[in-house]
Amino acid sequence: MLATDLKPRNAKRHAAKVVRILRRAYPEATCSLNFSNPLELLVATILSAQCTDERVNRVTEDLFAKYGGAADYAGARLAQLERDVKSTGFFRNKAKSIKGCCEALLQRYDGKVPKTIDELIELPGVGRKTANVILGTAFGIASGVVVDTHVGRISRRLGLTRQKNPEKVEQDLMQMVPKREWIALSHWMIWHGRRACMARKPDCEQCPLESVCPRIGVETI
């Protein structure tokens, strides 16, 4: 039975057990993208779509040295920006989003990254997931739960949701988990997804959540 099928109190109790275990298992969990300011995190997050954080970090090491602020990205030739981010994949769309986003930042916010989700999602290339990353990691603002492939997969396996749409998964998690845990929950689940609860061959025997996980959708050999 899914936690979302339980009475609200029992669903929250199950979620609380998950949160306690993840907190103990991954106390050092944080964003894996390298950045020194909100704009750098915004750029890195756009580049991270369909790309590993390790690859993004290698690309942004040179990118951040070359482009200092929103005006630099906005003023760059699109073809050059495409070459600069090419190895992250889908580079044409990513370069277009970064340039367009920075143009909008200059026009609307004096080149600064805004601090509300409504303002962020109006920027080119910025959806709700990216906005949540920026607000939570750069500003410490709990606007929601970042739902990437790891968070979605683990939430379903734990019975916290049956949804596949990221925004619907997020809504289920926000109902069961206290707001003060939203930012950390994403980091914990992402680390857990990379270290134990992989998409293929999850290490269930060594999993810290083994005692509370119903293993929904997990194939057994």
Q: Mind listing the pLDDT tens digit for each residue in 76-90?
A: 999 999 999 999 999
pLDDT, averaged across the chain: 94
Q: Mind listing the pLDDT tens digit for each residue in 186-199?
A: 999 999 999 999 99
What are the Cα distances from residue 185, in Å, to 18, 129, 154? Answer: 10, 14, 11
Q: Where are the domains of the chain?
A: 3-30+145-206, 38-139
148 catalytic per annotation: yes
User: Do 56 and 43 form a contact (C-beta atoms < 8 A)?
Assistant: no
Token digits of residue 89: 């994949």
Q: Hey, what CATH topology would domain 3-30+145-206 get?
A: Endonuclease Iii, domain 2 (1.10.1670)
| Domain at 38-139, CATH from 1.10.260.40, 1.20.140.10, 1.10.340.30, 1.10.540.10 | 1.10.340.30
Q: Is the pLDDT of residue 2 over 60?
A: no
Closest listed residue to residue 56, CA positions, set 68, 65, 47: 47
Instruction: Choose the catalytic residue: 84, 94, 99, 129.
Output: 129
Instruction: Choose the catalytic residue: 96, 112, 148, 168.
Output: 148
- What pTM value is reported for the model? 0.91
Q: Using a CB cutoff of 8 Å and minimum separation of 24, what contacts does 52-55 make?
A: 55/87, 55/88
Q: Is the pLDDT of residue 93 over 80?
A: yes
**Cα gap 42→32, rounded to integer Å:** 13
Tokens 């993840």, located at residue: 22
Q: Mind listing the pLDDT tens digit for each residue in 10-39?
A: 889 999 999 999 999 999 999 999 999 999
Q: Is the pLDDT of residue 181 over 70?
A: yes
Q: Is the pLDDT of residue 40 over 80?
A: yes
**pLDDT band with cut points at 50, 70 and 90 for residue 9:** confident
53 catalytic per annotation: no
